[in-house]
């Protein structure tokens, strides 16, 4: 594929990502109820970097199935996600923490040494990992374009700059303040989808279509002895390797700066964690499905010189065509970019808050740091990219992807004892953490980094072989060689074990400072602290002039944001700030947390200390606060229960009241409508009677006309009154059915006979399709006839006036008798269909003459059918008019005793 | 000859009123629903309208409002004849500018007296 085209496509991809991020930012997608949890879970899949995408295959091709260990570790961690990560996110939120270095610094007494050490350690450990992503982009670019790189344009450098720009725009916008980075997180989640999609599509096309299915690939591989060994664990040392890979990768999914960023810092809602618990392991499974088949296919179908890391791309190139190759390239590209974006953001932040600020920020009441802070963060971020690129350019040329990645993992794992110890062990002390990390980190540098560096530079073969000062056991690779473990496992195991040992030992033998033990208490028992009491745990003495605090905040946050946050604080706490107000300890703690977001916990503490007197409250006081918290929480719980009970009772009362009111409304409405319906015929009767009374000389014909009209209106009145009484009986429940075994067919015929004259008179074609073998059912003879007469006369009334047609069908359906009465009138609308069974509803259609009827017939029908345990409904009949249907159960299961009121 | 428009969807009532008014030498126009009434008002101008309220399409209130707000028609007298007997219904009708409101069933003598009073 043409290099320029690929660059253009990559640029387009980044641009699309950019716009989606912008959209997500505006719409605040992480707070969406349905998508939020998915985005959170997908963003955690940033774990799968280019190393996963290309390196796993490379590893599988050379060492077999042990690549799985790197995913087994995380999968084993996820069942604990709700317990462990929820605790972490809670602490992160309460303490306003923005990175893992802040986390450890805050835990160990807001200590600067810890923060700086952790920041530097992760920087050293992760920079090669970023270089790995750059290397993957560069290598894959060359594979796709066939190495036709342009001398005037380094595509890798261009891409790195583009990704750096993207991160700058979407990350540092929010550097001061813990605002959610919706855009960035959504972009990362989207990239997770892209890389998974590319991997699966590529895998399916190559393995299933090109190579005839994975079964065939495995079968072929089994024929070759050199490939067989890839499937087996064949020694104790190899299972040791597995164990340590699982442990280290399990730590990595929590502790890698980018993982800490997406899973704890960017978490918006603790409930999202639950979705991640099953989604992320599923994701890891899916993205590994094709690793082994592709690795085997690469070994079998590609020339031996082909680099195993790029089997996937080379296979696609050789067997799948240009577009498949490009697709896989973009899968890898998205894996690399998402890792780079999140890692650089978290590393840049750590570098500035834990290395740069502590060194250069000095308390000052006049100096305005707010713009410099953001600038520093931007520069830190850019320098991460520069470091990564430099490492790639000068050191990473010949190292396989996996070994760089694993080295990083082992480095970051050095934080595990101090981190998890700090989370669950109150006794974990600052000096222990410091010593443990230093020892572990030192061994890691000596045993893992040094040999790589030396061999890359072509130096030190003698040193590696004979050890320091000629003492063999001091050689970086001695331990591995002596135990038979791989050099990597040996170094990782010994560094971690030494780290843990030193950490525990020193922690036990050192005394914590008061601030340290307070923080330990607050971390370990985070779930027992209520938010309100948390502020009390501040260590600051009250009565600092408010203006001092304000000017301090302005120095770091700028005017606008300071006004904003102070306004909010004043609003929430009902304080009216003016120049004479003294800030209390809560207010000072609040300011400290705001500063922590901007410059890290240690620097924030120093800044606050410059204006406020530290009041070293004792551990007993903290315990008091905790106990109080606990009591308040218990009290809250009791109150809540009481409150819930009360709310439930109120609710029930309210509902009962509403029902009563509704019932009474319905009654009123009913009475009002009845009287209205009575008034209309009465009006006609009275008017006509008065006319007759006044006019003795009226012609005979007119007299007849009025008299017969009076009789008709009287009949209408009678019918109305009968119907009202009928309905009243049904609705009050006093109407009883006289149930006997009856033949439905007979009843229908009887109803038809009642209306025979009307049918003949209106020349209606009546089509009766009744199954002659209909079984008998329990029915009230007169009532069912009443229903049929009602439906039939409606059908006659509303069917086509020219050539009216009515169809009656009756049959058995699902243990029910079912009857349909269909007319060919002008049909019924959906809205009307819902209303026709209501009392006094009359079909409104101005093209028809007003139908004469009480408006109660169908309401009565509904009652009758429901009392039989059946249903009645109406719907438009296709190509005809309207269809009324009802059912009567063949076996009456239960007599409904109470009728619905509507 | 004074012209009276009857608007009601109840045939027996229309028939009675028509007979009654013709005999008193009124010119009678008939609308069986609101739409017909509006059509007739577009063509001719009666002196008085006997207006039912509950009709399936355009109701009596709307017709009253239409008549009393249009400059050419607002001189037409309107008597509501309705089964709606609530105080609020009557008040609403009068507020819309009707000249009288008679609750059904009404006495034909009272109706004729009201008609005569309004058109002369």
Is the pLDDT at A283 greater than 90? The verdict is yes
pLDDT score for A902: 39
| Predicted local confidence at residue A135, as pLDDT | 84
Q: Cβ contact (<8 Å) for A846 and B108?
A: no
CB contact under 8 A, A680 and B13: yes
Asked if residue A776 belongs to a domain, the reply is yes
Statement: residue A697 has pLDDT above 70: yes
Is residue B105 reached through a cis peptide bond, with omega within 30 degrees of 0 on the bond before it?
Answer: yes
Q: Residue A687: list chain B partners with CB under 8 A.
A: 13, 16-17, 20, 105-106, 108
| Any domain includes A511 | no
- Residue B90 forms contact with A (CB below 8 Å): no
Query: Mean pLDDT: which of A191-200, A371-380, A577-586 is highest?
Result: A191-200
* Measured distance CA(A314)–CA(A316) in Å, rounded: 5
Question: Domain check: are A566 and A666 in the same one?
Answer: no
Who among B33, B35, B83 is closest to A680 (CB)? B83
Q: Please tell me whether residues A781 and A707 are part of one structural domain.
A: no
Residue A599's nearest CA partner among A260, A170, A92, A99 is: A99
Answer whether residue A407 shows pLDDT above 80.
yes
| pLDDT of residue A455 exceeding 60 | yes
Segment A854-883, tens digit of pLDDT: 567 788 888 888 888 888 888 776 667 788
Place A402 in a pLDDT band, splitting at 50, 70 and 90: low
Structural domain contains residue A435: no
Tens of pLDDT, residue by residue over A40-74, are 999 999 888 888 888 888 888 887 777 888 888 99
Give the CATH number of the domain where residue A332 resides. 1.20.1730.10
Residue among A823, A597, A743, A813 at smallest CA distance from A102: A597
CB contact under 8 A, B105 and A850: no
pLDDT tens figures, B53-112: 887 778 889 889 888 888 888 889 999 998 888 888 889 889 888 899 998 888 888 999
Q: Which residue of A has its CA nearest to B85?
A: A676
Do residues A260 and A403 share a domain? yes
Name chain A contacts of B106, Cβ cutoff 8 Å. Answer: 683, 686-687
Contact residues, chain B, for A671 at CB < 8 Å: none
Nearest beta carbon to residue B19 from set A691, A712, A842? A691
A520: pLDDT strictly greater than 70: yes
Q: Is residue A642 domain-resident?
A: yes
Query: CA of A700, closest CA in chain B: separation in Å?
Result: 14
> How does residue A897 score in pLDDT terms, banded at 50, 70 and 90?
very low
Are A846 and B85 inside 8 Å of each other by CB? no
Given this model, what pLDDT does residue A864 score? 84
Query: Which of A846, A847, A851 to probe by mutation at the B interface, max B CB count within 10 Å?
Result: A846
CA distance B83 to chain A (A): 5
Residue A257 sits in the same domain as residue A237 = yes
**pLDDT tier for residue A535 given thresholds of 50, 70 and 90:** low
Q: Which residues of A touch B35 (CB under 8 A)?
A: 846
Cβ contact, residue pair B104, A679, below 8 Å = yes
* Residues A168, A80 share a domain: yes
Give the residue from A617, A647, A675 where a domain finishes: A617
The tally of CA atoms less than 13 A away on the side-chain side of residue A169 is 15
Across the interface, of A702, A705, A846, the residue whose CB is closest to B57 is A846
Residues A607 and A630 in one domain: no
Quick check: A679 and B9 CB within 8 A? no
- Residue A498: the pLDDT is 93
Residues A548 and A577 in one domain: yes
Sign of the C-alpha dihedral computed for residues A740, A743, A745 and A746 taken in this order? negative
Q: Which residues of B touch A712 (CB under 8 A)?
A: 12
Confirm or reject contact between B84 and chain A (CB < 8 A): yes
What is residue A497's predicted lDDT score, i.e. its pLDDT? 93
Q: Please identify among residues 852-891 of chain A the ones whose CB lies closer than 8 Å to any CB of chain B.
A: none
Q: Are B34 and A706 in contact (CB under 8 A)?
A: no
**Statement: residue A519 has pLDDT above 90:** no
The answer to whether the Cβ–Cβ distance between A680 and B10 falls below 8 Å is yes
CA distances from A80 to A75, A117, A264 (A): 10, 28, 14
Q: Is pLDDT of A614 > 60?
A: no
Work out how many domains chain A is built from and give that number.
4
Are A687 and B54 within 8 A, CB to CB? no
HEC-encoded secondary structure of A628-649? HHHHHHHHHHHHHHHHHHHHHH
Distance (Å) from the C-alpha of residue A660 to the closest C-alpha of chain B? Answer: 23
CB contact under 8 A, A672 and B86: yes
From A598, A617, A636, give the residue that closes a domain: A617
Q: How many residues does chain A have?
A: 902
From the CA of B30, how many Å to the nearest CA of chain A? 15
Statement to judge: residues A126 and A240 lie in one domain: yes
Please report where in the chains the tokens 């009645």 appear, as a residue.
A872
Torsion angle defined by CA atoms of residues A430, A432, A435 and A438, in that order, rounded to the nearest 10 degrees: -70
Q: How does pLDDT run across A475-515, given as a tens digit for each residue?
A: 666 666 666 667 788 888 889 999 999 999 999 988 887 77
Nearest CA among A857, A845, A865, A851 for reference residue A796: A851
First to last CA, chain B: 11
Residue A475's alpha-carbon distances to A208, A460, A492, B120, in angstroms, are 48, 11, 15, 127
CATH code at position A718: 1.10.287.130
Asked if the structure places residue A485 within a domain, the reply is: no
Give the range among A199-208, A355-364, A893-902 with minimum mean pLDDT: A893-902
Q: CA A27, CA A47: separation in Å to the nearest integer?
A: 26
- CA distance from start to end of chain A: 72
Rounded Cα gap, residues A714 and A285, in angstroms? 82
| Nearest CB to A679 within list B9, B83, B109 | B83
Residues of A in contact with B23 (CB under 8 A): 695
Q: What is the pLDDT of residue A859?
A: 80
Is residue A457 in some structural domain?
Answer: no
Q: What angle, rounded to 10 degrees, do the helices at A100-107 and A601-611 form?
A: 50
A706 contacts on B by Cβ (under 8 Å): 16, 19
CA distance, residue B61 to nearest chain A CA (Å): 17
Of B23, B33, B104, the CB nearest to A683: B104
Helix, strand, coil: what percent of chain B each, to 5?
45, 20, 35
**Furthest C-alpha separation in chain B:** 35
Q: Please write down the HEC assignment for all residues of A484-544.
A: CCCHHHHHHHHHHHHHHHHHHHHHHHCCCCHHHHHHHHHHHCHHHCCHHHHHHHCCECCCE
Cα distance between residue A64 and residue A113, in whole Å: 42
Same structural domain for residues A722 and A745? no
What value does the mean pLDDT take over residues A767-790? 82
From chain B, the residues in CB contact with A688 under 8 A are: 12, 16
A35 close to B (CB below 8 A): no
pLDDT of residue A150: 59
CATH assignment of the domain containing A781: 3.30.565.10
For chain A, what is the mean pLDDT?
79
State residue A846's pLDDT score: 34
Question: Does the distance separating the beta carbons of A712 and B33 come in below 8 Å?
Answer: no
Judge whether A779 lies within some domain: yes
Question: How large is the average pLDDT for residues A298-312?
Answer: 84
A535 part of contact set with chain B, CB < 8 Å: no
When CB atoms are compared, the residue of A672, A687, A712 closest to B16 is A687
Per CB-CB distance under 8 Å, the chain A contacts of B104 are 679-680, 682-683
Q: What order of strands is seen across the sheet that includes strand A882-889?
A: A765-770, A805-813, A816-823, A882-889, A872-876
Q: What is the ipTM of this complex?
A: 0.91
Best to test chain A binding among B52, B54, B104, B115 (most A CBs inside 10 Å): B104
User: Min CA distance, B100 vs chain A (Å)?
Assistant: 17
* Helix, strand or coil, per DSSP, at residue A804: coil
DSSP characters over A118-142: HHHHHHHHHHHHHHHHHHHHHHHHH
Model confidence over A789-820: pLDDT tens digits? 888 888 887 777 777 888 888 888 888 888 88
Domain boundary among A594, A617, A640: A617
pLDDT of A335: 92
User: From CA A883, how far away is CA A827, in angstroms rounded?
Assistant: 8
With an 8 Å Cβ cutoff, are B16 and A850 in contact?
no
Name the more confident of A305 and A480: A305
Place of tokens 């609020």: B88
Set of chain B residues whose Cβ sits within 8 Å of the Cβ of A680: 10, 13, 83, 104
Token duo for residue A230: 């890839």
Inter-chain CB pairs, A–B, below 8 Å: 74
> What pLDDT, on the 0 to 100 scale, is given for residue A435?
94
Q: Which residues span the domain enclosing A605? A: 535-617
pLDDT of residue A237: 57
pLDDT 10s digits, B14-45 = 999 999 898 888 999 999 888 888 888 888 88
Burial group, residue A169, by CB count within 10 angstroms (0-12, 13-18, 19+): middle
Q: What's the rounded Cα separation, in Å, for the pair A389 and A134?
A: 7
Residues A187 and A252 in one domain: yes
Which among A119, A238, A261, A116 is positioned nearest to A188, based on CA atoms?
A261
Same domain, A563 and A634: no
**What's residue A194's pLDDT?**
93
Residues 665-704 of chain A with CB under 8 A from chain B are 672, 675-676, 679-688, 690-691, 694-695, 702
Mean pLDDT, residues A305-314 taken together: 85
Is the CB of A680 less than 8 angstroms away from the CB of B16?
no
Mean pLDDT is highest, among A19-33, A185-199, A639-653, for A185-199
Instruction: Please report the pLDDT score of residue A413 as a whole number.
Output: 93
Tell me the two tokens of residue A238.
């190899």
Both A223 and A339 in one domain: the answer is: yes
A576 found inside a domain: yes
Strand residues in B11-120 grouped as ranges (E): 27-31, 48-51, 77-82, 100-103
Q: What is the CA radius of gyration of chain A?
A: 41
A interface mutation test: which of B16, B24, B54, B115 has the most A CBs within 10 A? Answer: B16
Q: Give me A671's structure tokens.
A: 């009475």
CA-based nearest residue to A132, from A388, A316, A379: A388
Task: Please give the backbone phi and psi of residue B29, each rounded to the nearest 5 degrees, phi first.
Answer: -110, 150
């Amino acid at each position: 594929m043409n290099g320029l085209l690929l660059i253009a496509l990559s640029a387009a991809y980044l641009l699309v990502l950019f716009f989606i991020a912008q959209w997500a930012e505006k719409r605040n997608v992480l707070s969406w109820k349905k998508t939020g949890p998915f985005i959170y879970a997908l963003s955690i899949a940033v774990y799968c970097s280019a190393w996963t995408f290309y390196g796993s295959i490379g590893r599988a091709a050379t060492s077999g199935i042990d690549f799985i260990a790197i995913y087994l570790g995380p999968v084993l961690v996820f069942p604990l996600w709700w317990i462990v990560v929820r605790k972490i996110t809670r602490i992160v939120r309460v303490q306003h923490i923005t990175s893992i270095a802040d986390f450890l610094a805050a835990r160990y007494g807001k200590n600067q040494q810890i923060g700086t050490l952790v920041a530097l350690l992760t920087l050293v450990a992760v920079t090669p990992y970023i270089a790995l992503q750059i290397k993957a982009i560069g290598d894959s670019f060359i594979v796709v374009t066939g190495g036709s790189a342009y001398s005037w344009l380094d595509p890798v450098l261009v891409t790195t700059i583009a990704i750096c720009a993207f991160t700058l725009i979407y990350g540092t916008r929010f550097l001061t303040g813990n605002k959610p980075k919706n855009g960035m997180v959504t972009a990362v989640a989207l990239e997770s989808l892209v890389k998974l999609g590319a991997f699966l599509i590529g895998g399916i096309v190559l393995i299933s279509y090109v190579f005839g299915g994975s079964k065939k690939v495995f079968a072929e591989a089994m024929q070759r002895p050199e490939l067989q060994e890839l499937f087996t664990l064949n020694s104790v040392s190899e299972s040791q390797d597995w164990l340590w890979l699982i442990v280290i990768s399990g730590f990595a999914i929590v502790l890698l700066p980018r993982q800490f960023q997406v899973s704890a810092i960017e978490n918006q809602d603790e409930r999202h964690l639950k979705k991640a618990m099953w989604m992320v392991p599923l994701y890891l499974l899916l993205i590994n499905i094709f690793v082994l088949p592709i690795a085997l296919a690469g070994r079998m179908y590609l020339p031996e010189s082909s680099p195993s890391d790029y089997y996937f791309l080379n296979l696609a190139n050789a067997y799948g065509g240009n577009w498949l190759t490009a697709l896989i390239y973009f899968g890898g590209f998205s894996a690399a970019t998402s890792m780079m974006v999140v890692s650089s953001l978290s590393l840049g932040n750590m570098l500035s808050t834990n290395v740069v600020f502590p060194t250069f920020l000095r308390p000052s009441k006049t100096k305005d740091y707010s713009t410099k802070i953001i600038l520093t963060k931007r520069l830190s971020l850019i320098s991460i990219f520069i470091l990564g690129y430099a490492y790639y350019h000068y050191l990473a040329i010949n190292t396989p992807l996996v070994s760089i990645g694993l080295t990083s993992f082992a480095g970051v794992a050095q934080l595990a004892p101090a981190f998890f110890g700090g989370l669950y062990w109150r006794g974990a002390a600052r000096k222990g953490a410091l010593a443990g990390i230093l020892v572990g980190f030192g061994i890691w540098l000596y045993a893992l980094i040094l040999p790589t560096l030396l061999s890359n530079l072509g130096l030190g073969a003698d040193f590696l072989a004979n050890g320091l000062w000629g003492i063999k056991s001091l050689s970086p690779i001695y331990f591995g060689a002596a135990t038979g473990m791989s050099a990597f496992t040996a170094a990782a195991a010994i560094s971690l074990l030494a780290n843990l040992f030193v950490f525990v030992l020193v922690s036990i033998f050192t005394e914590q400072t008061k601030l340290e033990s307070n923080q330990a208490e607050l971390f370990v028992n985070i779930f027992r602290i209520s938010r309100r009491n948390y502020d009390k745990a501040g260590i600051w003495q009250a009565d600092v002039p408010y203006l001092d605090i304000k000017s301090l905040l302005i120095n770091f946050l700028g005017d606008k944001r300071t006004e904003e946050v102070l306004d909010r604080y004043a609003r929430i706490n009902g304080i009216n700030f003016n120049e004479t107000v003294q800030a209390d300890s809560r207010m000072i703690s609040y300011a400290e947390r705001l500063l922590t977001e901007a410059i890290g916990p240690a620097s924030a503490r120093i800044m606050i200390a410059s204006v406020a007197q530290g009041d070293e409250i004792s551990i007993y006081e903290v315990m008091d606060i905790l106990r109080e918290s606990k009591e308040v929480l218990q009290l809250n719980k009791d109150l809540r229960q009481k409150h819930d009970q009360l709310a439930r009772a109120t609710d029930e009362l309210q509902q009962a009241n509403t029902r009563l009111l509704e019932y009474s409304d319905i009654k009123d409405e009913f009475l009002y409508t009845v009287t209205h319906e009575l008034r209309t015929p009465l009006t006609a009767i009275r008017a006509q009677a008065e006319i007759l009374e006044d006019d003795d000389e009226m012609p005979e014909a007119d007299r007849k006309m009025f008299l017969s009209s009076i009789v008709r209106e009287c009949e209408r009145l009678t019918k109305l009154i009968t119907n009202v009484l009928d309905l009243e009986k049904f609705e009050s429940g006093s109407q009883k059915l006289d149930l006997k075994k009856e033949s439905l067919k007979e009843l229908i015929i009887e109803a038809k006979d009642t209306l025979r004259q009307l049918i003949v008179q209106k020349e209606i074609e009546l089509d009766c399709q009744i199954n002659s073998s209909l079984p008998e059912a329990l029915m009230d003879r007169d009532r069912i006839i009443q229903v049929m007469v009602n439906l039939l006369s409606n059908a006659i009334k509303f069917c086509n006036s020219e050539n009216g047609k009515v169809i009656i069908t009756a049959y058995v359906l699902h243990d029910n008798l079912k009857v349909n009465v269909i007319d060919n009138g002008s049909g019924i609308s959906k809205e009307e269909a819902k209303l026709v069974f209501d009392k006094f509803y009359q079909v409104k259609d101005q093209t028809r003459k007003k139908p004469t009827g009480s408006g109660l017939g169908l309401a009565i029908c509904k009652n009758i059918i429901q009392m039989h345990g059946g249903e009645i409904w109406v719907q438009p009949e296709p190509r005809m008019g309207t269809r009324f249907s009802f059912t009567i159960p063949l076996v009456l299961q239960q007599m409904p005793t109470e009728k619905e009121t509507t | 000859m004074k012209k009276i428009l009857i608007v009601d969807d109840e045939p027996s009532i229309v028939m009675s009123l028509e007979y009654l008014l013709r005999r008193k030498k009124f010119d009678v126009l008939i609308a069986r629903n609101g739409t017909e009434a509006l059509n007739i008002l577009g063509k001719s101008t009666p002196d008085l309208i006997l207006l039912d309220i509950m009709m399936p399409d355009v109701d009596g209130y709307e017709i009253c409002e239409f008549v009393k707000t249009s400059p050419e028609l607002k001189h037409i007298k309107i008597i509501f004849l309705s089964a709606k007997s609530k105080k609020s219904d009557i008040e609403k009708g009068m507020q819309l500018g009707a000249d009288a409101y008679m609750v059904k069933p009404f006495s034909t003598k009272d109706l004729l007296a009201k008609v005569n009073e309004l058109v002369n």
